[in-house]
Amino acid sequence: MEFQQVVRRRRMVREFAPDPIPRGVLERVLETGLHAPSAGFAQGLELIVLDQPAQIEEFMTITDPWARKADGRRGDPPVIVIPIGNVHTYLARYSEPDKQGLGMNVPEGWPVPYWDLDAAMSVMLILLAAVEEGLGGWYFGIFHGEAELMRQLGVPEGLHPIGAVALGYPTEGEQRRGSGLWRERKRLEEALHVGRW
């Protein structure tokens, strides 16, 4: 598929068929995420993959115990990936000789948390790779239960997920939902500030 076609086809898919994702397909999609740029080539991305029904169930119960249950849990994805930008990897990388003196060996020294930014870039690639494989992808925030979830998954102290990515084949009747239904895409002229704001 052409790049522009992949970009334009991508949208958040929020209802999934129960069909599993073949291991090779899933690995291709996730490996694509490793081709994202990263600050200092730190590559601090960590991906927790939940692909067992009991794990998906537990994720749903911890992170959204009310809303998703109200929906009857129809269309749960077969796979949920939790991307984490490992802050410790970045602080270690920016303590190396070529990065010394920047003051970025402590979290407060960073203009923006590049560990989260880099993880987001990887998520974008994962969402695009999913399109190429005929999969649907859905990035969403974790608004509830993050601490409990991290504990359950054995994630080391001080690490935070940037959200979650659901992956799976869309159901036949799956239709666009969410804000994209009623909000129009910006035109380039609306975003451009050539020379100055």
Closest distance of CB 155 from ligand FMN, Å: 20
Question: Does residue 12 touch ligand FMN according to CB under 6 A?
Answer: yes
- Binders of ligand FMN in range 79-108 (CB under 6 A): none
**CA–CA separation, 127 vs 30, rounded Å?**
9
Q: Candidates 62-70, 71-79, 94-102, 139-147 — which segment interacts with ligand FMN by CB under 6 A? A: 139-147
Judged by CB under 6 A, which of 37, 107, 156, 180 binds ligand FMN? Answer: 180
The pair of structure tokens assigned to 178 is 């969410």
Judged by CB under 6 A, which of 74, 179, 187, 194 binds ligand FMN? Answer: 179
Question: Does residue 68 touch ligand FMN according to CB under 6 A?
Answer: no
Sheet containing 79-85: order of strands: 45-50, 79-85, 164-168, 136-140
> Of 157, 159, 149, nearest to 46 (Cα)?
159
Task: Give the type of residue at 156.
Answer: P
Compute the Cα dihedral for 77, 138, 61, 27 and give only its sign: positive
**CA–CA separation, 25 vs 114, rounded Å?**
28
> Of 175, 173, 174, 171, nearest to 19 (Cα)?
171
Question: Does residue 71 touch ligand FMN according to CB under 6 A?
Answer: no
Q: Candidates 35-43, 110-118, 150-158, 177-185 — which segment interacts with ligand FMN by CB under 6 A? A: 177-185
Q: Candidates 33-41, 99-107, 151-159, 176-184 — which segment interacts with ligand FMN by CB under 6 A? A: 176-184
Question: Does residue 5 touch ligand FMN according to CB under 6 A?
Answer: no
| Interface with ligand FMN (CB under 6 A) | 11-12, 139-141, 178-180
